[in-house]
Amino acid sequence: WAVRTDSGRTVTARTVIAGCHVLTTFDLLERGGFDRARLNAWRRRIRVGPGIGMVLRLATDALPRYPSGPADESDAVRGLQLLVEDRARLRLAHGAALAGELPPRPAVLAMSFTAIDPSIAPPGEHQVTLWSQWHPYRLSGGRRWPALAESEADRIVAEIERFAPGFAGSVRHRHIQTPHEIERELGLIGGNVMHVEMSLDQMFMWRPLPELSGHRVPGADGLYLTGASTHPGGGVSGASGRNAAQRALADAGGGPLRRVLGRWRR
């Protein structure tokens, strides 16, 4: 295999483990001359889905304080803070997103990392990340994300303000990542941080497709797939990397049978 990097360097290897989005890997394969018809057939069957949400990364001079939270305030800010009162609100936001609409009220998950490790911000400052669901990648009525980023960010901050009065006034700086930015900055197609929709038909031995679920790519010996596009999906577990590495090592001669035969020969 030869992999050409953005800087123009060509790296050759017997084995490549591709950790980018599976559709990106298909594009790279196509550029390398892989059978386009086969790639198109795979592309058609993979559903990226509507995306999940958007993120606000905030620099603040205080942590959120929740009057309705635990008596020991530090308990609340040391964990994930899912700011919803009932499941109906989650369903409403999800349903709206499926129709390309913004959530009537964003379902915000607050993470205040400086409550655990103050060293990641200058003294007296804090980092708070607000992950908000569901904000669809494709908006109805031809609306575009760049025009909506600021107003959606305001709505997300207003949502945390309901639960933690005074928080909005503590925000010093904010970095907004809409689904559009998540795709542009991180290569997460459709703004889906899980790469491919985490629906039952695309999980387990069906992720991303039955014929690709073993991390190998039929017709491309020495190429392996890993990352959120493969089992067990998105999130920071490292499990798919371990599985892909085991397959690659086994194929390269490190399988149990080969090891036993090797020992016997020696």
Ligand X SMILES: Cc1cc2nc3c(=O)[nH]c(=O)nc-3n(C[C@H](O)[C@H](O)[C@H](O)COP(=O)(O)OP(=O)(O)OC[C@H]3O[C@@H](n4cnc5c(N)ncnc54)[C@H](O)[C@@H]3O)c2cc1C
State the residues that interact with ligand X by CB under 6 A. Answer: 19-20, 24, 55, 131, 182, 186-188, 193-194, 227-228, 234-236
Q: Whole-angstrom Cα distance, residue 81 to residue 68? A: 12
Indicate the DSSP class of residue 20: S
Q: Between 47 and 258, whose beta carbon lies closer to ligand X?
A: 47
State in angstroms the smallest separation of the CB of 184 from ligand X.
Answer: 12
Q: Between 67 and 238, whose beta carbon lies closer to ligand X?
A: 238
Indicate the DSSP class of residue 216: B
Q: What secondary structure does DSSP assign to 30-64, as a single string?
A: HHTT--HHHHHHHHHH----S--EEEEEEEESS--
Q: Whole-angstrom Cα distance, residue 240 to residue 215? A: 9
Q: Which two tokens stand for residue 77?
A: 């800010």
State in angstroms the smallest separation of the CB of 152 from ligand X.
Answer: 14
State in angstroms the smallest separation of the CB of 228 from ligand X.
Answer: 3
Q: Which residue has the closest beta carbon to ligand X?
A: 227
State in angstroms the smallest separation of the CB of 180 from ligand X.
Answer: 13
Q: Between 55 and 102, whose beta carbon lies closer to ligand X?
A: 55
State in angstroms the smallest separation of the CB of 262 from ligand X.
Answer: 33
State in angstroms the smallest separation of the CB of 58 from ligand X.
Answer: 13
Q: Between 131 and 163, whose beta carbon lies closer to ligand X?
A: 131
Residue 25 — φ and ψ, nearest 5°? Answer: -60, -40
Q: Whole-angstrom Cα distance, residue 114 to residue 116? A: 5
For residue 125, CA distances in Å to 66, 113, 139, 172, 217 come to 18, 11, 35, 9, 48
CA 238 to chain centre: 13
Helix orientation angle between 22-31 and 36-45, rounded to the nearest 10 degrees: 170
* Omega within 30 of 0 (cis) for the link into 134: yes
Q: Whole-angstrom Cα distance, residue 210 to residue 85? A: 39
State in angstroms the smallest separation of the CB of 252 from ligand X.
Answer: 22
Q: Between 82 and 261, whose beta carbon lies closer to ligand X?
A: 82
Q: Between 41 and 186, whose beta carbon lies closer to ligand X?
A: 186
Of 197, 163, 192, give the one whose Cα is nearest residue 179: 192
Q: Between 25 and 170, whose beta carbon lies closer to ligand X?
A: 25
Give first-to-last CA distance, the chain, whole Å.
31
